[in-house]
Amino acid sequence: MSKLLKKIVYTGTITLKTGLHIGGTNAALNIGGPDKFVVRNPINNIPYIPGSSLKGKMRSLVEIYNGETNRGKPSNNPRSKAGSLFGVSGDNENSRPSRLIVRDAELDVNSCDFSSTDLPYTESKTEVAIDRVTAKANPRTFERVPAGAKFYLNMVLNIFEGEDESLLKKTVKQAIDLLSDDYLGGHGSRGYGQVEIQFTTVERSSYPFEL
């Protein structure tokens, strides 16, 4: 492994332009409540955006935009833009650790007025699916974090000796720009998950524990 030169810390906000649904467990039966719940912190019951969901969506968009998929599947090329930034798993010479750490995005509980929401910090949205043959209506209710809510963005980009720092930073920016014009979470084709991302960066190249 090459020497770690610096860490670039991205902090900012993810603002919801439309309601967001990232599915959680439906372990508790809630009579009359939503059919599909959002993921919540089990300690304080506050919704959050899992880092895995955010990172996975960013990677997918980078792969699609740069033509780095093979019949809809990742190319697993460590020299591709997505492979260089997000890593490639495996036990062979093509494996590469991820250079980007994406942390869970916590909800800013003061970002909007949640006092009138159906559930703590969330709304319930009922949709009706119509069978095209029988015309039978099938209502279903989704839990969503409402538009206007903000989450804290926190990511860390590791830069190692001999790597193309400029390309890695450009790929991060590309992923964020693509996400802003796409959607996060589920049901994006029906209007869910439009986000606006604002961020700042801080470079850290020295630490007090230098030997």
Tell me the C-alpha to C-alpha distance, in Å, between residue 34 and each of 27, 46, 79, 160, 191.
Answer: 12, 16, 44, 46, 18
Looking at residue 45, its pLDDT comes to 94
Q: Please list the pLDDT of the chain residue by residue as tens digits (211 residues).
A: 688 999 999 999 999 999 999 986 654 445 455 667 899 999 999 999 999 999 999 999 999 999 988 766 666 788 899 999 999 887 667 788 999 999 999 999 999 999 989 889 999 888 777 777 776 777 788 899 999 999 999 999 999 999 999 999 999 999 999 999 999 999 999 999 999 999 998 887 766 655 5
Mention every residue, 6+ apart, whose C-beta is less than 8 A from residue 116.
none
What pLDDT was estimated at residue 31?
46
Q: Is the pTM of this model over 0.85?
A: yes
CB atoms within 10 A of CB 16: 25
Q: Read off the amino acid at residue 115.
A: S
| pLDDT the model gives residue 71 | 65
Give backbone dihedrals phi and psi of 119, rounded to 5 degrees, phi first: -125, 165
Q: Would you kindly state where each structural domain of the chain is located, as residue ranges?
A: 4-204
d(CA 117, CA 47): 13
| Predicted pLDDT of residue 29 | 45
Name the residue among 9, 12, 1, 6 with its Cα closest to residue 180: 12
